[in-house]
Amino acid sequence: MIDTYRHKGLRKKLAQIVAKKGIKSAEVLAAIESIPRHLFIPDNALYKYAYEDKPFPIGAGQTISQPYTVAFQTELLALKPREKVLEIGTGSGYQTAVLLEMGAKVFSIERQKALFDRTKELLPQLGYNTKLFYGDGYKGLPTFAPFDKIIVTAGAPYIPEDLLTQLKIGGVLVIPVDEGDSQRMKKITKLASNKFETKDLSLFRFVPLLKEKGRD
């Protein structure tokens, strides 16, 4: 688990690349600049590519999201310090670390046992303490609801009703929803218990949000 000045220099450049692509939030860019992304990629052979703005395999058929995508979704959440955030799809834990760096209180769900186990060990080693759950993201976390913000980091075939229910009034759900072979990023604001405002944003490519827990 080694971080070096070279890695620090590379992620400063990565933050600049992400900024050039349109991310304005100083807090999001600072998080990208400070998080050692290479340590979230399990295959050491890929370390040298970790600061390219690309997704990479993390095992169990899943990927660590592209930094620009992580930044785009995080910026849309418009986080305020200490807000309670539910993340669906912990994966490598990189997005989780970005949310924590932004001062959020994070609850994150992962359905692949192997990834859940690895990230549960990794995050505390890097100084990130948060609540991780092995389960089905479609159902959210009713026990800990309501949430100020909810972020889904896999492509959803539809918007899960339970997630809308678990959002505070005034809260925001950021979710990529299937549209052919890519997904439309949506920002959904809960205006009242049964009233939502949806903004359709650009297209992205995510691994699918799967039903039920993984069986590995």
Distance, first Cα to last Cα, the chain: 26
Token look-up 């390219």 returns 52
Q: Is the CB of 188 or the CB of 206 nearer to ligand SAH?
A: 206
Which residue in the list 25, 65, 182, 193 is annotated as catalytic? 65
Q: Could you give the string, one character per residue 2-41, with x where binding to ligand SAH holds by CB under 6 A and - elsewhere?
A: ----------------------------------------
Region label for 88, one of left (φ > 0), alpha (ψ between -120 and 50) or beta (otherwise): beta
Least CB distance to ligand SAH at residue 90 (A):
6
Token look-up 């993390």 returns 58
CA distance 207 to 194: 29
34 counts as catalytic: no
Strand bridging mode 84-88 / 167-179: unpaired
Residue in 39, 74, 95, 147 binding ligand SAH, rule: CB under 6 A: 95
Token duo for residue 14: 């990565």
Residue in 51, 68, 72, 94 binding ligand SAH, rule: CB under 6 A: 94
Which part of the chain contacts ligand SAH (CB under 6 A), choosing from 16-24, 28-36, 190-198, 202-210?
A: 202-210
| Residue 72 in contact with ligand SAH, rule: CB under 6 A | no
Residue in 112, 130, 166, 183 binding ligand SAH, rule: CB under 6 A: 112
Q: Is the CB of 86 or the CB of 188 nearer to ligand SAH?
A: 86
CA distance 210 to 9: 37
Region label for 36, one of left (φ > 0), alpha (ψ between -120 and 50) or beta (otherwise): beta
**Where in 119-178 is the site for ligand SAH (CB under 6 A)?**
136-138, 153-154
Strand bridging mode 167-179 / 182-192: antiparallel
Q: Is the CB of 5 or the CB of 158 nearer to ligand SAH?
A: 158
DSSP 8-state secondary structure symbol assigned to residue 159: -
Strand bridging mode 56-59 / 84-88: unpaired
In the complex, the residues that contact ligand SAH under the rule CB under 6 A are: 62-65, 88-89, 91-92, 94-95, 109-112, 115, 136-138, 153-154, 207, 209-210
Question: Which residues have a catalytic role annotated?
Answer: 65
